[in-house]
Amino acid sequence: MQLESMYQEIILDHYKNPHGRGLRDPFEAEVHHVNPTCGDEVTLRLHLEGETIADVSYEGMGCSISQASISAMYDLVLGKSVHEALAAGEDFVTLMQAKGDLTVAEKLEDTLEDAVAFAGVSKYPARIKCALMSWMALKDASARALSTQSTPALSATHPTAPTGGTA
Ligand code: ZN
């Protein structure tokens, strides 16, 4: 079918010419995720400016699905808020649960952009983890980056908090 071969081409293109690959500074969180069932690996750094994803840099190795998924994710989440990026991640999980149903892919086309090309992967349970690895790494890195960000903010507000009620 035409749509599926187009999807395969998108995946292959991201695999051959990965977008945003390489580890860069600055970053607030670095995580390393593996998918032992296939031997896929990714080291991912997240750089936030406020709530916005200013950079996602990465190195990885493994099958074409796992590596292309990181590249497609990079395109999708860059410049988005962490909240929006994680929402896209939820949509990607939905896509991976579609069992090859392309009507699910059609509905998610606008929100997932190139990442929708992984729709066909949902037919192969063994490969789903390959495609999901990058998104799990991003979720992990987001949680870590946000927790380091909130610490100085909290300590800054506490000492200056008005005591109130004494007047
Ligand atoms: Zn894999």
Give the Å distance between the CA of 68 and the centre of ligand 1: 10
Which one is predicted more confidently, 102 or 1? 102
The pLDDT of residue 59: 98
Give the Å distance between the CA of 154 and the centre of ligand 1: 40
Burial bucket for residue 52 (CB in 10 Å: 0-12, 13-18, 19+): middle
Six token digits for residue 89: 């991640």
The pLDDT of residue 155: 45
pLDDT at 1 over 90: no
Task: Compute the half-sphere exposure of residue 56: CA atoms within 13 Å on the CB side of its CA.
Answer: 30
Question: Looking at the domain assignment, is residue 161 inside a domain?
Answer: no
Report the number of distinct structural domains present in the chain. Answer: 1
Q: For the segment 15-69, what is each residue's pLDDT rounded down to a tens digit?
A: 999 999 999 999 999 999 999 999 999 999 999 999 999 999 999 999 999 999 9
Six token digits for residue 45: 């750094």
Which one is predicted more confidently, 130 or 160? 130
**Residue 149 to residue 143: CA distance in whole angstroms:** 10
The pLDDT of residue 68: 98
CATH number of the domain within which 37 lies: 3.90.1010.10
Question: Looking at the domain assignment, is residue 84 inside a domain?
Answer: yes
Question: Looking at the domain assignment, is residue 22 inside a domain?
Answer: yes
pLDDT at 74 over 90: yes
Give the Å distance between the CA of 69 and the centre of ligand 1: 10
Question: Looking at the domain assignment, is residue 167 inside a domain?
Answer: no
Question: Looking at the domain assignment, is residue 49 inside a domain?
Answer: yes
Question: Looking at the domain assignment, is residue 166 inside a domain?
Answer: no
pLDDT at 161 over 50: no
Give the Å distance between the CA of 37 and the centre of ligand 1: 8
Position 165 confidence tier, pLDDT thresholds 50, 70, 90: low
Structural domain of 52: 2-146
Position 163 confidence tier, pLDDT thresholds 50, 70, 90: low
Question: Looking at the domain assignment, is residue 159 inside a domain?
Answer: no
Give the Å distance between the CA of 54 and the centre of ligand 1: 27
- Beta-carbon count within 10 A of 116 CB: 23
Q: For the segment 104-159, what is each residue's pLDDT rounded down to a tens digit?
A: 999 999 999 999 999 999 999 999 999 999 999 999 999 999 998 765 544 444 44
Which residues make up the environment of ion ligand 1, defined by Cβ < 5 Å? Answer: 38, 40, 63, 66, 130
pLDDT at 160 over 60: no
pLDDT at 90 over 60: yes
